[in-house]
Amino acid sequence: MTKETIIKLEKVWKIYKMGKVEVYALRGLNVEIKKGEFVAITGPSGSGKSTAMHLTGCLDTPTRGTIFLDNRNISKMSESELAQIRGRKIGFIFQKFNLIGTLTALENVMLPMTFQNIPYEQREKRAKELLEKVELGNRLNHKPNEMSGGEQQRVAIARSLANNPEVILADEPTGNLDSKTGANVMGFLEKLHEKEKKTIIIVTHDHNLAKSAERIIKIKDGANA
């Protein structure tokens, strides 16, 4: 059975204006990702892969071209429309974890559900379950500065799953971790893909990391390599 397409970028350009200078981050990029795929987007620094991730994750809109998420054209949506879609459909994992330092692990994981107006008891129950899943059931009330890098990244994985998104977007998810801890984090992502059939997209310049994926999309100078 052919898998449905969940994300499609068609001839996408992204041009940033910096004063009188135009910076071409993407130049007609084409990407198609099927539901349940594990894909790595790779390329050297400055190739446009992070820009591609921002567009794929509804964090930005293209200058030209079309982006479809679940067959909906998101290219011209307003920021508030994009925020609603990304809150439900996409979970993010960042290289620097992006946890809120004043909140506990439990509160960090509960936060995305707050924006979807989920009642407190449900938020707390789901956040506890997710932290148990990433083997942090004993760290619920610890703040980020009381945890190791690997633990913080596992909190970030739990947070990315808070609203049960179809797509997990991970930007250099092991970039700030030692190799052993990084391998554990990748193990969690592989489990999400295999057991929960999540669509996983990792953005990386690490070729060894990219090998974990089923398919590699290479970008060079803002276009398909």
Return d(Cα 91, Cα 164) in angstroms, integer: 8
Range of the domain at 147: 36-61+79-224
Return d(Cα 145, Cα 157) in angstroms, integer: 17
Q: Does residue 16 lie within any of the structural domains?
A: no
Number of domains in the chain: 1
Whole-prediction pTM: 0.90
Residue 185 in this model has a pLDDT that exceeds 90: no
CA 66 to chain centre: 20
Q: Listing from the earlier edge strand, what are the strands of the sheet with 21-34?
A: 21-34, 5-18, 64-69, 72-73
Q: Does residue 190 lie within any of the structural domains?
A: yes
In this structure, which amino acid lies at residue 57?
A: G
Q: Does residue 92 lie within any of the structural domains?
A: yes
User: Higher pLDDT residue, 140 or 59?
Assistant: 140
Q: Does residue 168 lie within any of the structural domains?
A: yes
Tell the residue number behind the tokens 């890098």, with chain if given. 149
Q: Does residue 152 lie within any of the structural domains?
A: yes
Question: For position 180, which CATH number holds?
Answer: 3.40.50.300
Task: Say how many CA atoms lie within 13 Å of 10 toward its Cβ.
Answer: 10
Q: Does residue 13 lie within any of the structural domains?
A: no
pLDDT digits (tens, 9 = 90+) for 59-115: 889 999 999 998 899 998 888 888 888 888 999 998 888 999 999 999 999 999 998
Give the pLDDT score at 180. Answer: 87
Around Cβ 32, how many Cβ atoms within 10 Å?
14
Give the pLDDT score at 201. Answer: 96
Residue 2 in this model has a pLDDT that exceeds 70: no
Give the pLDDT score at 3. Answer: 80
Q: Taking all residues of the chain, what is their mean pLDDT, rounded to a whole number?
A: 92
Return d(Cα 68, Cα 75) in angstroms, integer: 7
> Residue 4's beta-bridge partner residues?
none
Return d(Cα 110, Cα 123) in angstroms, integer: 5
DSSP assignments along 121-145, one per residue: HHHHHHHHHHHHHTT-TT-TT--GG
Q: Does residue 7 lie within any of the structural domains?
A: no
Beta-strand runs (E) in 37-137: 38-42, 64-69, 72-73, 90-94
Return d(Cα 85, Cα 141) in angstroms, integer: 30
Q: Does residue 219 lie within any of the structural domains?
A: yes
